[in-house]
Amino acid sequence: MVKILVAGFKGRMGHTTVEMVLNHPGFELVGVYDPHSIEKNLNEINEFSELDVPAYHQLSDIATGKVEVWIDFTSPKAVFENVKFALEHHISPVVGTTGLKDEQVAQLQRIAKKNQVGGLIAPNFGISAVLLMQFAKQAAKYLPDVEIIEMHHDKKLDAPSGTALNTAKMIAEIRSEHYQGNPDETEVLPGARGANFQGMRIHSVRLPGYVAHEQVLFGGPGEALTIRQDSFDRSSFMSGVAVAVSKIGKQHELLVGLENLL
């Protein structure tokens, strides 16, 4: 049984993760964490009334010796310190929280390497999203003019999404940076052309009713290609989280991208 702590258990993704862990025969929930919660035990929530799982409000209170994997669905402001804490206590982090900066990821990777602790930061745990990024990278070899549109619910804190940014980074590995569009174009409204990542444009949509969706649009002389994925329910991410939790104990470094474990 893999002993798991879920950080951010009061959020929508955290709540879905708690349910997944409880229903998985190979996982054991040994703790939950949220600095903004008031519960001292998960059984104070009606639907979990028959459980006995401690709920922590401070990192320093966590019984780290009982935890093997730390699943993090918190916030961009909290995720770095959370993952740093886990790695320093030899707990393998499985991170779905977006918003980490490149230099923060590099620092966390150094800590993981020093402590020989495996971990994973995944911009998206949906299998369809992982495949989209792989397909987009392949397509960019032949159609280097590309724009990305990502669509999420209106409560999302960061823009662009981690998935969209990671898609752009993967495309950039094989695409030479260049300007797209009319070099004399003018934005009548600032920002109309979206964020610029090495010549690629990324557009972020935030609307109620959406969960997580992405389109990668490629254009070439006389043709176009659109690759799209849709996550209609947060449960779609759980199969990827379960795979990561099951495999991360065999790693000795902090990986970025679920594709590294598939």
- Name the band, by pLDDT with cuts 50, 70 and 90, for residue 262: confident
Instruction: Provide the domain count of the chain.
Output: 2
Examine the pLDDT at 195 and tell me if it is beyond 90: yes
Say how far apart CA 144 and CA 215 lie, in whole Å: 15
Check the annotation: does 119 bind a ligand. no
Check the annotation: does 10 bind a ligand. yes
What is the pLDDT, as a whole number, of residue 131?
A: 94
Same structural domain for residues 145 and 66? no
What is the pLDDT, as a whole number, of residue 99?
A: 86
Same structural domain for residues 20 and 90? yes
What is the pLDDT, as a whole number, of residue 246?
A: 96
Are the C-beta atoms of residues 71 and 5 closer than 8 Å to each other? yes
Same structural domain for residues 105 and 132? no
What is the pLDDT, as a whole number, of residue 142?
A: 97
Check the annotation: does 191 bind a ligand. no
Same structural domain for residues 71 and 89? yes
What is the pLDDT, as a whole number, of residue 203?
A: 98
Helix (H) or strand (E) holding 243: helix 238-247
| Residues of the chain above pLDDT 90, percent | 93
Check the annotation: does 96 bind a ligand. yes
Examine the pLDDT at 63 and tell me if it is beyond 90: yes
DSSP 8-state class, residue 54 = B
- Name the band, by pLDDT with cuts 50, 70 and 90, for residue 222: very high
Same structural domain for residues 16 and 67? yes
CATH number where 201 lies: 3.30.360.10
* Residue recorded with tokens 């009334």: 49
What is the pLDDT, as a whole number, of residue 124?
A: 87
What is the pLDDT, as a whole number, of residue 55?
A: 97
Examine the pLDDT at 235 and tell me if it is beyond 90: no
Same structural domain for residues 115 and 10? yes
Cβ neighbours for 63, distance < 8 A, ≥ 6 positions apart: 30, 31, 54
Examine the pLDDT at 252 and tell me if it is beyond 90: yes
Check the annotation: does 35 bind a ligand. no
State whether residue 254 is helix, strand or coil: strand
Same structural domain for residues 151 and 222? yes
Same structural domain for residues 240 and 193? no
Per-residue pLDDT, averaged over 207-228, amounts to 97
21 versus 259: the higher-pLDDT residue is 21
What is the pLDDT, as a whole number, of residue 151?
A: 97
Same structural domain for residues 211 and 242? no
Same structural domain for residues 200 and 255? no
pLDDT per residue over 64-121, tens digit each? Answer: 999 999 999 999 999 999 999 999 999 999 999 988 999 999 999 999 999 999 999 9
Per-residue pLDDT, averaged over 159-165, amounts to 93
- Provide the annotated active-site residues: 152, 156
Examine the pLDDT at 206 and tell me if it is beyond 90: yes
Mean pLDDT, rounded, of the chain: 95
Check the annotation: does 153 bind a ligand. yes
What is the pLDDT, as a whole number, of residue 22?
A: 97
Per-residue pLDDT, averaged over 56-60, amounts to 96
Examine the pLDDT at 202 and tell me if it is beyond 90: yes
Instruction: Quote the pTM value.
Output: 0.79
Structural domain boundaries enclosing 131: 127-231
Check the annotation: does 125 bind a ligand. yes
Same structural domain for residues 96 and 160? no
What is the pLDDT, as a whole number, of residue 192?
A: 95
Say how far apart CA 145 and CA 74 lie, in whole Å: 35
Check the annotation: does 16 bind a ligand. no
Strands (E) located in the chain: 2-7, 27-33, 55-56, 69-72, 92-95, 119-121, 145-152, 195-197, 200-206, 212-220, 223-231, 254-256
What is the pLDDT, as a whole number, of residue 41?
A: 96
